[in-house]
Every structure is written in C-alpha cells, then in structure tokens.
Amino acid sequence: MFKNQISDYMAMWDLKESLKDDIAENGLRLLYKTANGGKAEKDNPSVKQLPLINKQMLMLLKQLEISTDNVSKDGEGQSDEL
C-alpha cells in the first residue's frame, strides 16, 4: 500500500509541475475564440487546479507521516555508507 501511495504522490508531483508550466507558458488568463468568431479571455484552469493538487499532496504526506520534522540535519542521523 505504501508503494501505491508513493506512486500517487509522484503522479501528483508531475501534474503539479505540468500545471506550473502551463501557467508560466500561457499566463493567468487564456485567449479563446467565441462561437460567433470573436475573441474573449477566460481564467486559466491550471491556476485553480494548482492549489487543489498542492492540498492533496500535503494530505498524502501527512497520511504517510512524512514531514520536515522527520528530516535530520546535515551531519546528523545515520550514515548512508554500507
């Protein structure tokens, strides 16, 4: 189960990065063609989705009991050597 949740988190990470890229590329508002051939602007949906994905990611980290409180400072904790 833990592996599945990590995979879910990484999928959300990829989605979050895609949303950020979309906002950087297209901006906060999108220009689109209306049914009558005119042009109009609308909110970029990525702007609304980004905080929702971040919230889900934080909830999953909490469920997995992963936080910055569990991270050791440089030079402390166990060595990576075998």
Please check the confidence at residue 10 and state whether its pLDDT lies above 70: yes
Residue 68 or residue 28, greater confidence: 28
Confidence check: pLDDT of 12 > 90: yes
Alpha carbons 65 and 77: distance in angstroms, whole number: 18
Q: What is the pLDDT of residue 67?
A: 84
Using one digit for the tens of pLDDT, what is the confidence trace for 42-69?
Answer: 999 999 999 999 999 999 999 988 887 8
* 69, two tokens: 């409180």
- Going from the C-alpha of 69 to that of each of 39, 40, 53, 76, the distances in angstroms are 50, 47, 22, 14
* Short-list 39, 45, 42, 41, CA closest to 22: 45
Q: What is the pTM assigned to this prediction?
A: 0.74
Domain ranges of the chain: 2-65
Q: What is the mean pLDDT of residues 17-42?
A: 96
